Chain A
Amino acid sequence: MDRGLVTLIGMSIAYVASFAGLAFAYWGWKKHLRPEARKEESR
């Protein structure tokens, strides 16, 4: 397999995993952390 293509595939998998973690964090932040932070602020 071509060196450039292989590296592209490999790096893409790494970045997909990282973006998945980032998306998870955004979802968790909206669902759990932001409401808690707002509750804290309103006290």
Chain B
Amino acid sequence: MVTFTGLDWFWAGAFLLLMVGGAFFFYRLARRSESDFFLAGRGLPWWLPASSVFSTHTATDTPMWVTGVIYAHGLRGLWYTFFTAWTAIASFVSARIFRRSLAYTQAEWQVMRFGGLGAELLRGWMAGWQVFMNMFILGWVGIAMGKVGSLVFGWPVWVGLVIPSAITAIYTLAAGYWGVVMGDFLQGIVAIFAITLVTLVGLSAVGGPAEVSARLVEMGDAWRLDVFAFTGLFTGDFPVAWWLTMLVIAVVGGFGMGTSIDWYVEAQRIQSAKSVRDASYGLWAGGALTLVRNGFWAAVILAFFVLAPNIADVADYELGWFRMGFELLPVGMVGVFMGAILAIHLSTISSHLNLGALYFTRDLYQRYINPKASERTLVWMGRAATFVLLLGSFFYGLMMEEITAWLIFALWLMMAGIWLPNILQVVWWRFNAWGYLASWMANLGVSWLVVWILPAFGVIPPLPDYGQFWLLMALGAAVFIPATLLTRPEKMDHLVHYYVQTRPLGWWGPVQREAERRGLIAPEAKPVQVGGRPLIRRTWTPEEAEGWSREDWIAIVLSPVVYALIIIGVARLLLGQVDGALITLGALVGAFALYWVIDPKLRAVSVEYETKQARYLEELERSVRWDESALDARVEG
């Protein structure tokens, strides 16, 4: 238990009031329309979605999980946290495609990409999946907060689960996504401050950054400072094969939609940005900030390892970051630290409350139950769904704690089986709704076969995680590829409409030619330039910028490299390693080069959309004003 002084209570209370009050302030904006309640009117500058991406990626259980992998693996454990790098390529590929689709949710995108009954079934399937997933995550994160409350104050677990979530629900119900995103911004600042503070205090407790490294060498644990401390090609607990698999899952996954569980949350942030450019930068910067955070955590957790090297129980050493904060910070600052823990908790809870409600309201209620619902009805339905999700999460968190722990593992398997279809649906025109639906169904069966049934009967040996991933992918493909090829392609009219609106990357030749034949898009003209094409083109018209060019491919290659440099550089820099400074400098130069290459093109792509966006918002304002004045007249009458 931690002793809280009056000053600590003051700071924790002040931060809570600031975060809740700041978010609640946007109540009036949220009630304007469904678009405002769920997407903040699609008008946010890039730094707001960026802070929201960071805050949402930082939940109460995140420091426990990161502490666990760094304590066990040293700096090579950073690669486990590198799954965030799906945003590296996604920022410049799938975010651009998704933002242009104007879909509220990933489920809605399914009926834009696919058509007919198959697409509707997919939308319903995904909406049901996401309503459940968000409730599950709320329960899971709530339980983590319950454990923190138990550690700090000795409260029963249910107190930490119920009270903070209920407080979060107040502003999420009132201010919708406006409250979520503005709260995330404030919570992000508080969280960054606390993470930095605990890192500095933790490193000082050992004697400074260089001392942490020196002590690790003395202890015979120098390998913990090496991010590439492999145990073999296929052997040991950190083989090259596992590292490569994690890189492929994260980085190549950026070409698809839904390859990471986080995609569904960030899709809302992508769509709430005011332009394609803002969506790209919001996602990229949020991902980058998350990696910087991991670097900070890694440094202080190694300091914790130096102070307490012999903790064998995972449940004990996973609380290392919390212990560093509560045990090392001076009186008064403990309250600030508690405020930061509340911040990271509130941001995650609010995001998932609003997102779960969005899937229910937009993809189930509005689409299949009451298609003619007014904006006002939809906002109220969103609030009702938020409330029901909150109650469901309490039930789930309290009643199914043990199941929840294993479900995390089950969900990882699920993602393994549909990883490839999630990419194919974006990049291959011939992939259809039945193939995608078949991949979900097949995954249920094959994951059980690969993980338990076949090993139990001795048909195959128990496989390492990376082996399971590749086998699940291959078995799934053996089902969904024939299912795709044996059923009809989507109707060409539907595909052409989708292609013209989103201009996807990949194998879309037949659809592109049809769109050109119909005169809907101009044939891809090679820009005529005196003296030939420059290596990097920096002047684009909106039409020229629609296609995919060398600049996009440079961004696609450079972006993950910059991400890797960030996570390695920051961690090693904070541990006093000279190469850390050089690597961090390389990351900064790389980030600037990335911006220099891709920004002119993103600006050109966004010009047209910002104009359309302004018209859309103007139209929305008019219709909402009419709606409200009609209601007022009725009330007065």
> A interface vs B, CB < 8 Å?
1, 3-4, 6-7, 9-11, 13-15, 17-29, 31-33
Indicate if the CB atoms of A22 and B128 lie closer than 8 Å.
Answer: yes
CB-CB under 8 A from A21, the residues of chain B are: 124-129, 131, 363-364
Indicate if the CB atoms of B407 and A17 lie closer than 8 Å.
Answer: no
Which one of A4, A25, A31 lies within 8 Å of B124 (CB-CB)? A25
CB-CB under 8 A from B404, the residues of chain A are: 10
7 inter-chain pairs at a CB distance below 8 angstroms, sorted by A residue, are A10-B407, A14-B411, A15-B444, A21-B364, A24-B124, A26-B121, A29-B121
Could you tell me the distance between the alpha carbons of A11 and B329 in the complex, rounded to whole angstroms? 42
CB-CB under 8 A from B440, the residues of chain A are: 18
Chain A CB within 10 Å — which of B125, B363, B402 has the most?
A: B125
CB-CB under 8 A from A7, the residues of chain B are: 406-407, 409-410
On whether A28 and B410 interact (CB within 8 A), knowing A10-B404, A17-B129, the answer reads no
CB-CB under 8 A from B363, the residues of chain A are: 21
A3-B406, A21-B127, A25-B122 known; 7 new pairs, CB 8 Å cut-off, are A1-B402, A6-B403, A13-B132, A14-B414, A18-B129, A19-B125, A28-B369
Indicate if the CB atoms of B402 and A18 lie closer than 8 Å.
Answer: no
Indicate if the CB atoms of B364 and A24 lie closer than 8 Å.
Answer: yes
Could you tell me the distance between the alpha carbons of A3 and B371 in the complex, rounded to whole angstroms? 43
CB-CB under 8 A from B96, the residues of chain A are: none
How many residues of chain B are within 8 Å of chain A by beta carbon? 34
Which residue of chain B has the shortest Cβ distance to A15 in the bound complex? Answer: B444
On whether A17 and B131 interact (CB within 8 A), knowing A24-B368, A25-B120, A26-B120, the answer reads yes
Q: How near does chain B come to A38, taking the closest CB pair, in angstroms? A: 13
Q: How near does chain A come to B74, taking the closest CB pair, in angstroms? A: 28
Chain A-chain B contacts (Cβ-Cβ < 8 Å), number:
93
On whether A28 and B125 interact (CB within 8 A), knowing A1-B402, A15-B444, the answer reads no
Q: How near does chain A come to B392, taking the closest CB pair, in angstroms? A: 11
| A-B CB proximity, top 4 nearest | A21-B128, A25-B124, A28-B368, A10-B407
Could you tell me the distance between the alpha carbons of A20 and B122 in the complex, rounded to whole angstroms? 12
Could you tell me the distance between the alpha carbons of A18 and B129 in the complex, rounded to whole angstroms? 5
Does B367 lie at the interface of the complex (its beta carbon under 8 Å from any beta carbon of A)? yes
Which one of A11, A18, A28 lies within 8 Å of B120 (CB-CB)? A28
**Residues 402-436 of B at the A interface (beta carbon under 8 Å):** 402-404, 406-407, 409-411, 414
On whether A20 and B128 interact (CB within 8 A), knowing A14-B411, A25-B123, A29-B120, the answer reads yes
User: B587-622 vs A: 1/0 string, CB under 8 Å?
Assistant: 000000000000000000000000000000000000
Could you tell me the distance between the alpha carbons of A22 and B122 in the complex, rounded to whole angstroms? 7
On whether A27 and B368 interact (CB within 8 A), knowing A11-B410, A14-B133, the answer reads yes
Which residue of chain B has the shortest Cβ distance to A11 in the bound complex? Answer: B410
Indicate if the CB atoms of A11 and B129 lie closer than 8 Å.
Answer: no
Does B452 lie at the interface of the complex (its beta carbon under 8 Å from any beta carbon of A)? yes
Could you tell me the distance between the alpha carbons of A29 and B363 in the complex, rounded to whole angstroms? 12
Does B117 lie at the interface of the complex (its beta carbon under 8 Å from any beta carbon of A)? yes
Could you tell me the distance between the alpha carbons of A41 and B583 in the complex, rounded to whole angstroms? 61
User: B350-372 vs A: 1/0 string, CB under 8 Å?
Assistant: 00000000000001100111010
**Residues 208-256 of B at the A interface (beta carbon under 8 Å):** none
Chain A CB within 10 Å — which of B128, B364, B404 has the most?
A: B128
Could you tell me the distance between the alpha carbons of A40 and B123 in the complex, rounded to whole angstroms? 22
Which one of B121, B133, B136, B402 lies within 8 Å of A22 (CB-CB)? B121
On whether A26 and B124 interact (CB within 8 A), knowing A4-B452, A21-B364, A32-B368, the answer reads yes
